[in-house]
Chains A and B, each alone.
Chain A
Amino acid sequence: MTDAGVVYVIDDDRSVRAALEDLLASVGIRVLTFGSTTEFLAYGLEDAPGCLVLDVRMPGQSGIDFHRRMAGLGIALPVVFITGHGDIPMGVEAIKQGAIEFLTKPFNDQTLLDAIQNGIGKDRDHREQLAESAELRARWAALSAGEQDVARLVVRGLLNKQIAAVLHVSEITVKVRRAQVMRKMNVRTLPDLVRLTEKLSPDSLT
């Protein structure tokens, strides 16, 4: 995973596209431009934190509609809207849908650049979170069924003796499994373990 951000620009106007491409290149941001949402979908996403600059009014599918469909398509990019003619309801709608900025053309370049940086930052955080939780799930999956049982009860605050009674195993077995859990989950203290398991989805703990 490269950490440098990439900006995707979707605008049907060729000269706006060229200007945006050049502007972003001049400040050292990698940029990919597309004339339509179809072109963008055909290209796909790069494995890098990114931000989508989306024109509202395009022939075919409008930017607002595309934004609404993005979650369904599995695209979680932050979106900055740009439009040649925007009214307040349109802007409110876009922001309510979760866009980070709604700019009317001609827009202030600094505002746009700030919004893009903000978007890339958000996506980077989001991707880190995803990676972290994937890692966590992998560690949890590495535990045996018996170890998972022990871990669940440890986190609930039960003593070894109580756990042994609940699981109908010897206290020694509980101690061994507990040590394995600490090792495999890569934690040293009980509070660390509690903190990590809290980040796991609730159904894996029940």
Chain B
Amino acid sequence: MTRPDGADRTGMKARLHLWIRLILLAAVMALLFVVDTATNYEVAAAVFYALVVLTAAPFLNRRVLIRLSALCVALTVLSFVLTAKGNLSTGLANMGISVVAILMATWLILKMDAARQAAQDAHAKLVRIARIKSLEGLTTSIAHEINQPLAAIVTSGTACGHWLAHDPPNLDRARQALGRIVQDAGRASAIVARVRSLTRGDPPSTTVFSFNEAVQEVIGVSSGEIARHGIALVLELAPDLPPVHADRVQIQQVIGNLLLNAIEAILSGPAQSRVIHMASEVVGGMVQLSIRDSGPGIPAGVRDHLFEAFWTTKEDGMGIGLSISRTLVEANGGQIEAEAVKTGGAIFRFTVPPVQQENSR
């Protein structure tokens, strides 16, 4: 799933940058020391050590930063001792100002850092709460989903009894009712299976499979829904896609969810232009599926929230479909995004990693 050579290259690049910065900083510090020592007491070049501390702060951790600022203070004091010319009391005052400036810069950075840390903790907490909330939504959703076929089963069962009790019994209608019962029972058990695979905590069980085939399967399941609402489905599946490496069931859940969203979006819009456009292709080394609908699109300002748990534009939505989709896509090493289309409608795209052709490890 990961691409080791790529990750290594980025890591090396980052380390190189760090070294270049450190060397530059050391050079600046040496220059400051020389200027401060060589000039009169009145020239307070040491104040600029505060700038060194500020510049270095973003790429150093707390401990190293404290050491750096201690070093700067030590250099300031040392150059004061080594300086030979000028007014001694001015030199003392300048040294004091420099030391205070360095210490204050350090203190402010540490303070800001602590605040940022606190904000991060709070955010993590919120994310956890959102997860629990979305679980609540999930159970509600499951209850609703499963009660639909159950209601149909119970009602059909009673109807069947009535047809049999007629005199003479209406066997045809009774048989039809029984057929519906069997069908709805199958539907209920499919929902249970879907929910179980969704809530299973274990990591995705990745396999290598044909992406287009998986897409076609989902379309097959939804074709009745698409036909019933008179929606035109335009398919543009790239024929030469590499096989992908992901959890097939999870990826199909994502496709199904996006397709269902597209259908719902279209139904809420005008009836004349009901088109869903699905395309698969290779983008940036990843296999990508895009689903474009001719619905009302994504209102401005909404796009950033779309994938958040418990956030929805649907009146009766739970706001968990897209959030779960994102979790699933990311668990499989891909990314998901949404975009409004200028001519109307919305487009959702997600990526799945292709199988690694040669082992580059």
Q: Which residues of A contact B (CB under 8 A)?
A: 13, 15-16, 18-20, 22-23, 25-27, 57-62, 65, 82, 84-85, 104-107, 109
Query: B263 CB to closest chain A CB, in angstroms?
Result: 9
Q: When chains A and B are docked, how far (Å) is the Cα of A85 from the Cα of B158? A: 21
Please name all residues of chain B whose beta carbon is closer than 8 Å to the beta carbon of A61 when the two chains form the complex: 315
Most buried by A among B152, B154, B162: B152
Query: Known pairs A15-B152, A25-B159, A26-B170. 20 more at Cβ < 8 A?
Result: A15-B148, A18-B156, A19-B151, A19-B153, A19-B159, A19-B177, A19-B180, A22-B155, A26-B158, A58-B316, A59-B264, A59-B267, A60-B268, A62-B316, A82-B151, A84-B147, A105-B147, A105-B150, A109-B154, A109-B155
Would you give the 0/1 interface string for B139-171, flagging 1 where the beta carbon is closer than 8 Å to chain A? 010011101111111111011001100100010
Q: When chains A and B are docked, how far (Å) is the Cα of A61 from the Cα of B316? A: 9
Contacts A19-B156, A57-B144 hold; do A62 and B315 have CB atoms under 8 A apart?
yes
Cross-chain contact A106 with B150 (CB below 8 angstroms) = yes
SS of B interface (majority):
helix
Please name all residues of chain B whose beta carbon is closer than 8 Å to the beta carbon of A85 when the two chains form the complex: 140, 143-144, 147
Query: B144 CB to closest chain A CB, in angstroms?
Result: 4
Most buried by B among A19, A59, A82, A104: A19
Cross-chain contact A18 with B154 (CB below 8 angstroms) = no
Cross-chain contact A109 with B158 (CB below 8 angstroms) = yes
Please name all residues of chain B whose beta carbon is closer than 8 Å to the beta carbon of A27 when the two chains form the complex: 162
Cross-chain contact A23 with B267 (CB below 8 angstroms) = no
Sample of 23 A–B contacts (CB below 8 Å): A15-B148, A15-B184, A16-B155, A18-B152, A18-B156, A19-B180, A22-B155, A22-B173, A23-B156, A26-B158, A26-B159, A26-B162, A57-B144, A57-B316, A59-B264, A59-B267, A60-B267, A84-B143, A84-B144, A85-B144, A106-B147, A106-B151, A106-B155
Cross-chain contact B151 with A16 (CB below 8 angstroms) = yes
3 tightest A-B CB contacts, nearest first? A105-B151, A26-B162, A19-B155
Please name all residues of chain B whose beta carbon is closer than 8 Å to the beta carbon of A13 when the two chains form the complex: 148, 152
Please name all residues of chain B whose beta carbon is closer than 8 Å to the beta carbon of A18 when the two chains form the complex: 152, 156, 180
B216 within 8 A of A: no
Query: B269 CB to closest chain A CB, in angstroms?
Result: 11
Cross-chain contact A15 with B149 (CB below 8 angstroms) = yes
* Residue in A20, A60, A104, A106 whose beta carbon sits within 8 Å of that of B153 in the complex: A106
Please name all residues of chain B whose beta carbon is closer than 8 Å to the beta carbon of A16 when the two chains form the complex: 148, 151-152, 155
Q: When chains A and B are docked, how far (Å) is the Cα of A106 from the Cα of B180? A: 15
Q: When chains A and B are docked, how far (Å) is the Cα of A25 from the Cα of B145? A: 26
Please name all residues of chain B whose beta carbon is closer than 8 Å to the beta carbon of A105 when the two chains form the complex: 147-148, 150-151
Cross-chain contact A26 with B180 (CB below 8 angstroms) = no
Contacts A15-B183, A105-B150 hold; do A59 and B268 have CB atoms under 8 A apart?
yes
Q: When chains A and B are docked, how far (Å) is the Cα of A23 from the Cα of B163? A: 9
Q: When chains A and B are docked, how far (Å) is the Cα of A25 from the Cα of B184? A: 20
Query: A137 CB to closest chain B CB, in angstroms?
Result: 41
Please name all residues of chain B whose beta carbon is closer than 8 Å to the beta carbon of A58 when the two chains form the complex: 316
- Which B-chain residue is minimally distant from A109 (CB atoms)? B158
Would you give the 0/1 interface string for B173-198, flagging 1 where the beta carbon is closer than 8 Å to chain A? 10011001001100100000000000
Q: When chains A and B are docked, how far (Å) is the Cα of A85 from the Cα of B176? A: 27
Q: When chains A and B are docked, how far (Å) is the Cα of A19 from the Cα of B162? A: 12
Please name all residues of chain A whose beta carbon is closer than 8 Å to the beta carbon of B152 when the two chains form the complex: 13, 15-16, 18-19
Query: A86 CB to closest chain B CB, in angstroms?
Result: 9
- Which B-chain residue is minimally distant from A65 (CB atoms)? B315
- Which B-chain residue is minimally distant from A110 (CB atoms)? B158
Q: When chains A and B are docked, how far (Å) is the Cα of A27 from the Cα of B159? A: 8
